[in-house]
Every structure is written in structure tokens, then in C-alpha cells.
Structure 1
């Protein structure tokens, strides 16, 4: 298989590139910039351009068998600030991608959706794929819209989508700007001896997935014939306070955090039911939270 990884120089995409190469696939990366944490790989065909560059994207699709779509121009905490940009940068550009795929005879696409925002405040936990979609931020609304377009194109044009609703990924090569990724943000703050800030009282619960485990699920999804939606997460809930305690333990740090007023868009608890992905792909997570945080801390200190 020859795969085009859109966003392949980013946090998740770079790990999927590694996993694809390890599985013997040929890889082409389409991204607007180079990787931040390592040099280009000799076995990868890199195409650097913006996701909105139609001609460059069309050229990148030539000769590929499948597309892995990991680009997002927003994160949940910033999407509501400019919903119009969220729609233009993500929804419109993804629909354009689908049109270009049709023109180039490419049907298979693996799309990274959000298990943390599309369901909104859940009625049950763990959350199954059949749960009603009730997003409360623009990020989640746009993710749902893209999912709907993918399945519309499946019905009308034969596109073969698999949507992965992913929980909270973390691990090596994740950015540490503080807008996304509580594990990386906490560890970077500890490394820099900076005060850690927590929104609310730290009781918000999330499902954290180590990026190596996520990358394996992406490759398996692309290799399979399955079309549909799959939750991908650890299936285990941990509070932000749990993450802080583990981060303190693995880094041998004792600083006290600063608690701030909670945010309206923070869903109290999101834990995914991952039984379906286990049944469909034979995949299950291998790395627990403490082991994953430890690996991330070791990597961060190697920079």
C-alpha cells in the first residue's frame, strides 16, 4: 500500500508514518512544514504545502492507495473563538480533499475525529459509538460535519471511510504550548520549573491514549476493509489530578499547582467504549498511563 499522510509531520501523523513504514508500506507526507523534533526520513516522499493548496494536494494524491487525514487547524479550546475559520480550515478543505480523491481514483480514507468532543456531555460511560452526538464546541461540531460528509461520499461516490473517534493522545513529539495535551504541558512545566495551572478542581476525567498505541490502530484501520466509526482510546478514565500525580511521581517533583476557574466547554467526564475496535481490528492498547508518561518524560529530557 502507498499511503498519503496529510499532517504526517505533526505529533500523531509522524508516529503513524513510523508505523506504516514498520508495516512495509510506502509513505508520502503532505504537510505545511517539516517535523519539529527530527530530520526528514530517507524512505518518505515529502510534499510541503498548505492543506488549502488545491494543486499541491492534487499532485500529492497521484499514485496513492489510501489517505490518512490528520490535519486540524484548531483545537477544542480555541475553536469557539473563530468558528468561521474552523469551518473554512477544516470542513471546506476536507470536502475539497474528497473531491480531489474522486478525481484521482482514491477511495480509502482514514479520518481522525474526536472522541472527546463529538459526544458532548455523555449519557452513559464508557461511551459507545452509537451514543447521540451532542458537541458543545465548534471543534466537535465541525468533526461531526466532516464525518457526515465522509459517509455521504461513501453513499454517492464509493469513498471508503473509516472514522476513528480518538480520546486524548499523548506521548513523544507532542507540542507543549498549553492549548492541547495536558500530559505534555504538565511535563514541560515541570522541566522548566514553572507553575502548573489546572482549570477547575482537577476532577475532570479523560481517556488518555499513548500515541504509539494510537498509531497502530490507524495503520490497522487503513489496512482493513472496514468502513464506519470506531472509538480509539484506553477505555480507562483518569482525572487531571491523576495525571498531575503521575507526572509528579515520574519526575520526582513536589510543586503545588494553581487552580483556576473551570471552563464551560470542559465536559466533566469522557471515557470511550473501545470494545468495537477490539472486535473489528483485533487492536487493544498496550501502554498504560504511568508507563506512557514515564516514556514521555524520558524523551522530553533527551531534547
Structure 2
């Protein structure tokens, strides 16, 4: 890698994952050198960072494997992230380190939404607490790295390789495709903030494009800024598939919260960013990808080279962001 490439390079830790795979592809299409790290090719071995990691302007940490319903990996995830931060500190490398947080679970549910970044943080469950601990690990090292936490709302989008994934959108469409009733947990009027993955990737790419000399807030909310009830989401799914799906009602799960949505004004001010993908459009893209996979065809916008317009990725030539993803966290 040349010195010029080093000043522009980005490391994606978790490059085979849901958002990481899309981010790496989007950055490459914009001409950004990308250094992918996976479980097979880790960023840190025995406390020593990969030499290539020390030649990057931005380190995107997207390797967490916990979900609201499965937090067994929380301590291992925190330890791995701490090892990476300590390795960068010892090496004297001070990149921007971007961590994905949970906008849907870290804020105090006793406060009324929408939640801005300065709203009280008081997770009501183990998932939110684990995500907040990782934020604290990063923010406590502000002298050694440049921390940026993107607190994501409920990210959704199509995935490469077939149906599946976390989150109500993917699970409901899977159920439709398999002829099963949709499972609706809790109050159908409870709202969530759904943000399409292309919009999330665009925010991340903007963080990289702004470079190391640009002062950014340490924490930014990334969401649509609009609450959508389960009832409304059910209507959108019905519009996309062309019929009202069967619904199976269930009581709320222990980790389900009241209505949550994010104030994204700071991201607009600091990054010039806002979500642009309408909910119907995003759900329709997932359904298109899912049905094409089940029919054995390659959907337009898949990894074979198709693109979906969604705005250019900053920091390079104007390119569209690829459409296919893997699995999606539910914040």
C-alpha cells in the first residue's frame, strides 16, 4: 500500500457480516482502499495489531455477535474490542474508530422519545447494557483514538445468500415466503425506528470521508427519525406482497420496549446526513431479493454486480451503494 493509500484506507473489522460486507463494497466502489478483517483473518493476534491495521485512517468495528435475544457473547465481544483498542494505543496509531451502538436499547425508557444523544442512558435489558459498555470502552480511550459511536435504530435490508436474518422485517417476510402466519409480539401500536441499510452505510462512509482533522461528535444517532407501529409495518408488508398476511399474536418478550425512535438532528448537522429510503421501498427490495433467491435467479442489485441508487458514497467518485446484505441487528 502506498503512503497516499494509507492516508485514505479504511479497516472493516467484521467484513463478512451484515453491515460490514456492504460497507466494504461501498467504500471500494468509491475508490477507498479497504482492509477487511474477519474471524479467519483477525485484526489483532495475541494483543498485536495487524501491521496493515496501523496504516488506516478509519477502523470500522462491526464484529459484535450479540442480539437482543442472545447476549451470551457479550463479554467475549467486549474483550475482543478492548484488545483491539489497547493494541492501537500501544502502537501509537490514532485512527478514527467507529463503533455501532444501539439507539433502540441504551436510552432510558422512562424518558419520552424521540431520543437525542444527550438523553439519559439507562438500558433496561442485558443487550443494551452490553452495547453501552462497549461504547464506554471506546469513549474512555479518546486520547488514544478518535472515537465515533453510531447508535443505530432498527437496521433492515435484503441479505446476500437467501432469506433470513434478525429483526421483524426479515422474519415477517420469511414467514410470508414459507406460507406461515406472521408472529406479532406485544402491543401492535408500539413503534420502532426502521432505517434501511443503504442509509446506514452512507452515514458510515461519510464519517470516513470527513477525515481525521474534522471534529465530529463522539456519539451520533442514525435512524429514520420516525416511529412506525407494528400495525403500520404490517400494512406495508401487505401492500408489498399484495395481500393481507395471516397474523399470530404473542405476548411481549422480556426485552421488548415501549415505543422508541431517535432524534437524528445531530447527524444531519455534523455529517449532512439523513435517511432517504422510504419504508415501502426498503421492504419491497427485501421481498424482491428473497423471492428471486427462492426462485433460483439472481436479483437485480445482488452481489453479481447490480446496484441500487441511494446516493453517492462521499470521499470518492459518485457511485451507488450495493444492495445485498446478510443479517440485520434489531436495536
TM value normalised by structure 1:
0.86
What's the RMSD between the two structures over aligned residues?
Answer: 2.0
**Correspondence for 2:307:** none
**Correspondence for 2:205:** 219
Structure 1 position 151 matched with structure 2 position 158: no
Cα distance, 1:59 vs. partner? 4.7
Q: Distance in 1 between matches of 2:237 and 2:45?
A: 40
**Correspondence for 2:97:** 109
Q: Do the aligned residues in 2 keep the contact of 1:162 with 1:228 (CA within 8 Å)?
A: yes
Give the direction of change, closer, same or farther, for the CA distance of 1:162–1:192 in structure 2 (3 Å limit): same
Q: Distance in 1 between matches of 2:65 and 2:266?
A: 29
Give CA deviations for 1:98-144 in whole Å, capped at 9, x if unaligned: 01222341421111111011114151221100001010122211211
**Correspondence for 1:200:** 186
Q: Distance in 1 between matches of 2:35 and 2:47?
A: 16
- Of 169, 178, 187, the residue aligned with 1:183 is 169
Cα distance, 1:147 vs. partner? 1.4
Q: Do the aligned residues in 2 keep the contact of 1:161 with 1:228 (CA within 8 Å)?
A: yes
Structure 1 unaligned blocks of 5 or more: 33-47
Q: Distance in 1 between matches of 2:43 and 2:181?
A: 36
Give the direction of change, closer, same or farther, for the CA distance of 1:266–1:100 in structure 2 (3 Å limit): same
Structure 1 position 74 matched with structure 2 position 66: yes
Give the direction of change, closer, same or farther, for the CA distance of 1:120–1:176 in structure 2 (3 Å limit): farther
Q: Do the aligned residues in 2 keep the contact of 1:58 with 1:100 (CA within 8 Å)?
A: no
Q: Which of structure 1's runs of 4+ aligned residues deviate more than 6 A?
A: none
Structure with higher helix content: 1
Q: Distance in 2 between matches of 1:66 and 1:192?
A: 41
Q: Distance in 1 between matches of 2:44 and 2:242?
A: 45
Give CA deviations for 1:279-301 in whole Å, capped at 9, x if unaligned: 00001111111111111111112
- Of 224, 231, 236, the residue aligned with 1:241 is 231
Cα distance, 1:202 vs. partner? 2.1
Structure 2 unaligned blocks of 5 or more: 1-7, 294-331
TM value normalised by structure 2:
0.79
Q: Distance in 2 between matches of 1:171 and 1:107?
A: 29
Give the direction of change, closer, same or farther, for the CA distance of 1:51–1:267 in structure 2 (3 Å limit): farther
- SS state at 2:194 partner: strand
Cα distance, 1:253 vs. partner? 3.3
Q: Do the aligned residues in 2 keep the contact of 1:4 with 1:27 (CA within 8 Å)?
A: yes
Q: Do the aligned residues in 2 keep the contact of 1:7 with 1:13 (CA within 8 Å)?
A: yes
Q: Distance in 1 between matches of 2:274 and 2:60?
A: 20
Give the direction of change, closer, same or farther, for the CA distance of 1:90–1:144 in structure 2 (3 Å limit): same
**Correspondence for 1:130:** 118
Give the direction of change, closer, same or farther, for the CA distance of 1:264–1:55 in structure 2 (3 Å limit): closer
